[in-house]
Chain A
Amino acid sequence: AQSVTQLDSHVSVSEGTPVLLRCNYSSSYSPSLFWYVQHPNKGLQLLLKYTSAATLVKGINGFEAEFKKSETSFHLTKPSAHMSDAAEYFCVVSSTSGSARQLTFGSGTQLTVLP
């Protein structure tokens, strides 16, 4: 079975400083990996996806993630945090259930951005 582990349940940064949200995955084959963001009382928004093309993936709002097979990691980064980045972030792996492609979510990382 495939799974993801988000290493930090909470991350706090100051506005304008870099963001690093860590994710490790477990997969028996080359995975499809995603990062989603969830603002309070909102649905999930896709930030970026990795599907075995370039290992450095650029997403929306200045976020990017690097797929490192040797480290089984898919960490999310942003050079400079903005107040609007405060939200819950989920690292996600895509796996099969029957003939369906299902998403398996990590437990989430709550990002706080301090003024």
Chain B
Amino acid sequence: ETGVTQSPTHLIKTRGQQVTLRCSSQSGHNTVSWYQQALGQGPQFIFQYYREEENGRGNFPPRFSGLQFPNYSSELNVNALELDDSALYLCASSYPLDAQFFGPGTRLTVL
């Protein structure tokens, strides 16, 4: 059984650019959640995908968007990057009402 994987591990972008982060869920999990963790803070919920549909969203603007694919892997897209988007982005997979298991994260730096 493989765990949650994320790619890339690190990424550097400039303001105004767009970025795509990827996540492969743990085997058998059909729900993927994304979180943003700024330096020195706890993770903040961005959104969750279940069966390829977004079924919940935190307090993030529309320039944060995502996709889930039939194999339950997922992408997080961020448009018009801002300096404050610099953070560790964490993906978690689960069954819909069960504990969430996290990947190692993608460290995004916006210059």
Chain A interface residues toward B at CB < 8 A: 34, 36, 42-46, 49, 90, 96-108
| A98 and B55 contact, CB distance less than 8 A | yes
Q: B16 near A: Cβ within 8 Å?
A: no
| A46 and B99 contact, CB distance less than 8 A | yes
Contacts of A96 in B (CB 8 A): 56
Complex interface bits, B31-61 against A, C-beta within 8 A gives 1, otherwise 0: 0010100000111110110100001111000
Distance, CA A106 to CA B43, complexed state (A): 9
| B56 and A106 contact, CB distance less than 8 A | no
| B42 and A42 contact, CB distance less than 8 A | no
**B57: which of A36, A45, A98, A103 is its contact (CB, 8 Å)?**
A98
Contacts of B56 in A (CB 8 A): 96-102
| A102 and B99 contact, CB distance less than 8 A | no
**B43: which of A34, A45, A46, A103 is its contact (CB, 8 Å)?**
A103
Segment 89-111 of B: residues with Cβ below 8 Å from A: 90, 92, 94, 96-97, 99-105
